[in-house]
């Protein structure tokens, strides 16, 4: 059995897909960095003890994890 030779159109489509995925990954990284900086700024300005901040972040993480599991049909 021989492998199909990719056509020019398929090669071009693959190239554009790879470029799109790279740009999308970069955008997600930048958005994540921006969110991180906003969290740090908010935590710093709130003057709440870090222990309490940690507790709130743990609660938030648990809620998000539960939502993800529900969406994936794991719960």
Whole-number pLDDT of residue 54: 96
- Token pair 């199909």 is found at 4
CA angle 55, 73, 28 (to 5 degrees): 60
Whole-number pLDDT of residue 62: 97
| Measured distance CA(53)–CA(70) in Å, rounded | 26
**Residue ranges for the chain with pLDDT beneath 70:** 1-3
Whole-number pLDDT of residue 34: 98
Whole-number pLDDT of residue 29: 97
For the chain, the domains span: 8-71
pTM: 0.66
Whole-number pLDDT of residue 73: 87
């Amino acid at each position: 059995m021989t492998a199909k030779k990719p056509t020019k159109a398929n090669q071009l489509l693959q190239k554009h897909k790879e470029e799109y995925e790279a740009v999308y990954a970069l955008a997600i990284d930048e958005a994540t960095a921006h969110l991180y900086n906003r969290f740090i700024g908010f935590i710093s300005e709130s003057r709440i003890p870090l222990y309490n901040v940690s507790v709130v972040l743990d609660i938030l993480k648990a809620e998000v994890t539960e939502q993800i599991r529900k969406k994936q049909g794991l719960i």
